[in-house]
Amino acid sequence: MRDKVRAKVGYEWKAIYKSLNKLDPEQTNFVTAQQFEQTCESVGVRNIHKDDIHGLLKRYGEDGKINYNVMSKDFGLHTPKFDLFYKHTKREKNIERLKNFFKNDKTENRFAGL
């Protein structure tokens, strides 16, 4: 099962991983089986069957969700570049928090030119 699914998603894995990462704003590394299936279809991988998803849930699942990060590493498709997706998303979240902080703070005008 593992090799079969790996062969299906391998070519498009970078796009799949990036899309899954966007669906996971809290960076839990988990997505639902439905999100995984829809993401694969959206990047052109249409031959993922229900049996494949069930096998992924069995092997990489927890509480009905698939750990796409562990799956990526186990498939041998994970590269250090993928970790940039996480950092980028976390950075965006921190920037948004700072914007909200300064929006509510009267000192915002001091930083307007930055």
Instruction: Determine the Cα–Cα distance for residues 35 and 4; give it in Å rounded to an integer.
Output: 20
Domains and CATH numbers, the chain: 2-78 (1.10.238.10)
Tell me: the pLDDT tens digits for 60-69? 998 889 999 8
pLDDT at 47: 82
Nearest-angstrom CA–CA distance, 81 and 90: 15
Length of the chain: 114
31-58 pLDDT, tens digit each: 999 999 999 999 888 888 888 888 889 9
